[in-house]
Amino acid sequence: MQAPGVSLGQLLLALDATLVRLVEAPRGLDLPVASAALIDSDDVRFGLAPAAGSADLFFLLGVSESDALAWVDHQADHRPPAAIFVKEPSQAIVERATAAGIAVVAVDTRARWERLYRLVNHVFEHHNDRALHDSGTDLFGLAQSVAERTHGMVSIEDAQSHVLAYSASNEEADELRRLSILGRAGPPEHLDWIAQWGIFDALRAKPDVVRVAERPELGLRPRLAIGIFQPAPDERRAPTFAGTIWVQQGSRPLAEDAEEVLRGAAVLAARIMARLAATPSSDAVRLQELLGLRATDEPVDVEQVARELGITADGRAALIGFDAGSPSTRIADVLSLSASAFRSDAQITSSRTRVYVLFPNTGKPGAVTSWLRGTVSALRAELGIELYAVIAAPVAGLAGAAAARTEVDRVLDSAGRHPGALGQVTSLAEARTTVLLDEIITAIASDDRLIDPRVRALRTEEPVLAETLRVYLDSFGDVAAAAQSMHVHPNTVRYRVRRVEQLLGTSLGDPDVRLLLSLSLRATA
């Protein structure tokens, strides 16, 4: 069941003027909004854009003016959304959207769409639990509370310097603050200066307030900062650095007790960050239950979950698993952006190093495969991110999602054990032989009783003969092929094979013997 949304005006206030600017709101700012979707130029051109009424807000990514006008006209003929978010909206788009009753919100050209999309969904997820107003339950509320107490502008960052929350900005925000909120890296000269003076090192060393001096020539205003530290589960270990709170001073001096306020804020921020990490949104919990990632006391009611998520339960579904090798909220955010632009009903969740994308109703499976390959290629080329991706399609409705996720994980587990054995993008069908054989070998390797001790001795005492045996068996007993593979004379292979038979006391003409030796050789490789 979808919760009632915040108003459009409340959402714009939460996003801050640094990111967005209201251009027109023909139906006012009291319209409730609770969902967002992304569309790009291909969606419009090929008729793949989300249907009218499927979302309250639409982000138009790189859509040309002519395509945007055609899309707005189509929306006007159905149920127009509350607003569209566009970078540099033309006058024609503004006029056409206004005539259709659609608000136009201009997005700063330097803003990252994935940052904006994440912030919008953050507002939607938390507006019912006082999170937009309570400094004890949400980082945005905390940032605004600290700003009011210190008389400065506050931003809260994670350990990788990604902005998690911020207070309202005004015209006194400097370039470092503006670019940080927009999701872009701060100016190199600013960051170099801060690093050169050891400020980053000091913040990571201990939870003490650090003063950052003004640099007028760089346009850098004075700041206070303090590190956020999470207590270690083991008292013998040092606390973990989790992020930073920055307070930029404007024309008004900071409060006399600003440093004391920051020390308290760092403690509160650590608690909130720990809570947010441990408590995903209700939608995320339901999706994890659907995929079998979270234990439940009762069997999952697929129909109920589908209603809560607002998706179809019996469509031609597809599930894709991505493995980045290490946990990364950035990768999850980028994949969320791409998947939601491809299909507005896409559902995304993550677990440890993996991100799962569920498309409840895909239509032609070839379109999903094409999107997947394009996404993996783009992430590699544009962001330098290397991912393994496995697609399970078609899946017979949401009832088959958990089983599909288990199969996807089997392939990703195998790819992790043997990098390069599978392509970066593969399907369950393509990977079946490789995965089954890998799991068989892994099971054998974990139990010494299943490995022929003669093979282990051969590897230790006669490694050349062991390698010859492996190649000979992999060549199906074809001496010429084995010799060519090893770059030796066929008679050399024949001699070595006879020698192996003598040492092992067996005949390689027996198919059972060949199977046992081949499995043992692979398990001891």
- Verify that 288 and 414 share a domain, yes or no: yes
Do 379 and 455 lie in one domain? The reply is no
Residue, of 525 and 486, whose pLDDT is higher? 486
Residue 302 reports pLDDT greater than 60: yes
Top-ranked range on mean pLDDT: pick from 331-335, 393-397, 415-419: 393-397
Alpha-carbon distance of 327 to 405, in angstroms, equals 18
Containing 272, the helix (H) or strand (E) segment is helix 258-278
pLDDT of residue 46: 64
User: What percent of the chain is predicted at pLDDT more than 70?
Assistant: 92
Per-residue confidence (pLDDT) for residue 223, from 0 to 100: 95
| Lowest-confidence region among 174-178, 181-185, 411-415 | 181-185
- pLDDT of 286 over the 50 cut: yes
Can you tell me the mean pLDDT for 2-8?
66
Residues 272 and 286 in one domain: no
**Position 452 in a domain:** yes
| Res 190: pLDDT | 77
Of the candidates 386, 393, 371, 406, which has an alpha carbon nearest to the alpha carbon of residue 323? 386
Same domain, yes or no: 116 and 170? no
The confidence score (pLDDT) of residue 127 equals: 57
Rounded distance, CA 450 to CA 440, Å?
A: 11
Rounded CA-CA distance 498/352 in Å is 50
Among 128, 149, 182, which residue terminates a domain? 128
If you ran DSSP here, which 8-state letter would residue 204 be given? H
Which of 106, 128, 150 terminates a domain? The answer is: 128
Over residues 98-153, the pLDDT tens digits come to 999 999 999 999 888 887 888 888 777 765 444 444 444 578 888 988 998 999 99
Look at residue 255 in the predicted model and tell me its pLDDT. Answer: 92
Q: Are residues 335 and 298 in the same domain?
A: yes
Q: How far apart, in whole angstroms, are the C-alpha atoms of residue 350 and residue 48?
A: 26
Question: Which long-range contacts does 481-490 make (Cβ < 8 Å, 24+ apart)?
Answer: none
Which secondary structure element, helix H or strand E, spans residue 339, and what is its range? helix 329-342
Same domain as 287, residue 271: no
> Is 61 a member of any domain?
yes
pLDDT at 131: 42
Q: How many domains does the chain have?
A: 4
- For residues 430 and 493, membership in a common domain is answered with no
Does residue 22 register a pLDDT over 80? yes
Residue 35's SS3 state is coil
Tell me the pairing of strands 57-61 and 83-87.
parallel
What does the pLDDT read at residue 133? 42
Give the model's pLDDT for residue 129: 44
Instruction: Give the pLDDT confidence of 468-519 residue by residue, as tens digits.
Output: 999 999 999 999 999 999 999 999 999 999 999 999 999 898 999 999 999 9
Region 515-524: what's the mean pLDDT?
Answer: 91
Q: Please write the tens of the pLDDT for every residue from 199-242.
A: 999 999 988 999 999 988 888 899 999 999 988 766 677 888 99
If pLDDT is split at 50, 70 and 90, which confidence band does 39 have?
confident
pLDDT for 130: 43
Find the mean pLDDT for residues 45-56.
66
- Does position 413 have pLDDT exceeding 80, yes or no? yes
The 10 Å Cβ neighbour count of residue 112 is 17
Q: What is the dihedral of CA 55, 60, 61, 66, to 10 degrees?
A: 140
Flag the least confident range among 155-169, 243-257, 401-415: 155-169
Question: What integer is the mean pLDDT of 280-309?
Answer: 85
pLDDT at 126: 62
CATH code: domain of residue 472: 1.10.10.2840
Mean per-residue pLDDT for 144-167? 89
Q: Give how far Cα 223 sits from Cα of 158, 215, 220, 278, Å.
A: 18, 11, 9, 31
CATH code at position 76? 3.40.1390.20
What strands lie across the sheet with 163-166, from one edge to the other? 163-166, 153-158, 240-248, 223-230, 210-212
CATH code: domain of residue 416: 3.30.70.270
Asked whether 494 and 504 are in contact (CB, 8 A), the reply is no
* 161 in any annotated domain: yes
CA 174 to chain centre: 30
CATH of the domain at 265: 3.30.450.40
Answer yes or no: is pLDDT of 52 > 70.
Answer: no
Domain shared by 422 and 287, yes or no = yes
For residue 118, what are the domain limits?
6-128
> Tokens 């991912």 label which residue?
387
Q: Please tell me whether residues 96 and 146 are part of one structural domain.
A: no
The mean predicted confidence, pLDDT, of the chain is 86
Q: How confident is the model at residue 1 (pLDDT cuts 50, 70, 90)?
A: very low
Q: Check residue 328 and give its pLDDT.
A: 64
Nearest-angstrom CA–CA distance, 81 and 167: 28
Residues 162 and 113 in one domain: no
Residue 309 belongs to some domain of the structure: yes
- Provide the H-helix boundaries in 384-510: 401-417, 428-445, 453-461, 463-474, 479-486, 490-504
Whether residue 194 has pLDDT greater than 80: yes
With cut-offs at 50, 70 and 90, classify the pLDDT of residue 380.
confident
Residue 88 within any structural domain of the chain: yes
- Tell me: pLDDT of 329 over 80: no
Whether residue 264 is predicted with pLDDT greater than 80 in this model: the reply is yes
Over the range 503-520, which residues count as b (16 or more CB within 10 Å of their CB) and which as e?
ebebebeeeebbebbbbb
Residue 454 lies in a domain: yes
Does residue 149 sit in the same domain as residue 219? Answer: yes
User: Which domain-ending residue is among 253, 278, 303?
Assistant: 278
Q: Do residues 194 and 260 both lie within one domain? A: yes
Residue 309 has pLDDT above 80, yes or no: yes
> Has residue 134 been placed in a domain?
no
Let me know if residue 439 belongs to a domain: no
